[in-house]
Amino acid sequence: MKHTSLMAFLVGAVALFSATAYAADHTLSINTALNTNDPLYKGLESFRDAVAERSKGAIEVKLFPNSQLGPDEDVLEQARAGAPVAVVVDGVRLAVFQKEFGVLGAPYLATGYTGIRKVVTSPLFEEWVKKLHDASGHQVLSFNWWQGERELWTNKPITKPEDLAGIRMRTPGAPVWVETVKAMGATPTPMPYAEVYSALQQNVIDAVEAQLPAGRGSKLFEVTKHLTKTHHINLITGLVTSAGWFDSLPAELQTILREEALKAGDVASHGTEDSLAKIEEELKAAGMTVAEPDLAPFRAATAGVYDTLGYGELRDTLQKIAAE
């Protein structure tokens, strides 16, 4: 009896050790600049849980909000080197490796989540995914993580592009963002997003452009007075990991990661959609003035950005896809 119990214990211990070792060999650490209250973070939690269940524990996903693993660019470099890490990142940051991705951050490419989702799930986009994989060592798991449309947060009313003359506006430093802000009439001022709140407090900058969930999360309503809904950039982001690490996985685990990332991206994006009206009411309650200007002058002012950056023909193709 004792011998049987001992054997059962040993068999169980070996099985537990094997399962633990296998899980440890397939751990994916995901970095995001977002906080845990952001709708996209809820999507990441959904991804983590679905992958664990569907892979029967073979893949463990760990989440690191508030950029705990470092800036997005650093995590991309870690992934490029083969580390089992991933990051929620916009196409502009991938454009340095594969130019086509940069067009995803160009002005007025598509309206809302429905249109931009068609673009990032199209056969054409999947061609870009393969090119990125081969060129830079990055693997896109899915690119349907919608953070909302970017708006203007200022301390003076904005009704037309001319009102932005002389305003120093924070923007990420990539060309498509800088050219968009410049075309709208403001002076682009690149800086890390984490520095925006104090920069506004100290009058280093006059304004910022950001989507509602991010602006609410970083309390921009405490340092700006006016929200102008220009919808100038439709911020779609992707879950990007290491191509080397991804390729090392069994085919069935690769399939699980890509399919569950797409499903979770929808969870996150619909969560963003559902949050926008409530966030706007919270901003009004905090004392902000919310305005919806005529978008035609802003569209006209930024139309040349595509040609400036060599995306003219691609814009036409993608806008057709978005409208289908």
Domain with 264 in it: what CATH number?
A: 3.40.190.170
3-state secondary structure of 180: helix
Residue 174 — φ and ψ, nearest 5°? Answer: -70, 150
324: confidence class by pLDDT, cuts 50, 70, 90:
confident
Paired tokens of 130: 């393969």
pLDDT score at 71: 87
Average pLDDT over residues 294-314: 96
**Residue 161 pLDDT exceeds 80:** yes
pLDDT score at 38: 87
**Residue 17 pLDDT exceeds 60:** no
Expressed as residue numbers, the domain containing 297 is: 2-323
- Single out the residue of 211, 168, 219 nearest to residue 191, CA to CA: 168
Of the listed ranges 65-74, 132-141, 159-168, the least confidently predicted one is 65-74
pLDDT score at 35: 84
Alpha-carbon torsion (214, 266, 177, 231), positive or negative: negative
Average pLDDT over residues 249-276: 97
pLDDT score at 13: 39
- Single out the residue of 293, 299, 303 nearest to residue 163, CA to CA: 293
Average pLDDT over residues 39-55: 96
Of the listed ranges 17-21, 124-128, 174-178, 279-283, the least confidently predicted one is 17-21
3-state secondary structure of 290: strand
pLDDT score at 20: 42
Task: Select the more confidently predicted residue: 172 or 80.
Answer: 80
Average pLDDT over residues 3-12: 41
pLDDT score at 192: 86
Residues in the chain: 324
User: Count of domains in the chain?
Assistant: 1
pLDDT score at 127: 98
1: confidence class by pLDDT, cuts 50, 70, 90:
very low
173: confidence class by pLDDT, cuts 50, 70, 90:
confident
**Residue 39 pLDDT exceeds 80:** yes
Task: Select the more confidently predicted residue: 14 or 99.
Answer: 99
- pLDDT tens track for 174-232: 899 999 999 999 999 999 888 999 999 999 999 999 999 999 989 999 999 999 999 99
